[in-house]
Amino acid sequence: MRKNLTYSSYCQVLRDNVKARREVDLHWRASNCKHIVNIADVYENVYGGNRCLLVVMEW
């Protein structure tokens, strides 16, 4: 995990399913483009009894 973030960041919470994992994978691959928000980290967690992906993005 990166510490001391010096840029703007936000966290997106997605329910953990095949579609969400595919979205994260495609976004990760496209993040080399300067017009796409970069993914800093992805975490697996349980929120409200549901498996979730926490996607931390930076711009």
The pTM of the whole model exceeds 0.85: no
Q: Which domain holds residue 35?
A: 9-58
User: Could you give the 3-state DSSP secondary structure of residue 15?
Assistant: strand
**pLDDT tens, residue by residue, 1-57:** 556 656 688 899 999 999 999 999 999 999 888 899 999 999 999 989 999 999 999
What pLDDT sits at residue 59? Answer: 74
What pLDDT sits at residue 34? Answer: 87
Specify the DSSP class assigned to residue 17.
S
Report yes or no on 14 lying in a domain: yes
Amino acid identity for residue 27 in this structure: H
- Provide the CATH number for the domain around residue 32: 3.30.200.20
- Residue 55's Cβ-count burial label (10 Å; 0-12, 13-18, 19+) is buried
Report yes or no on 3 lying in a domain: no
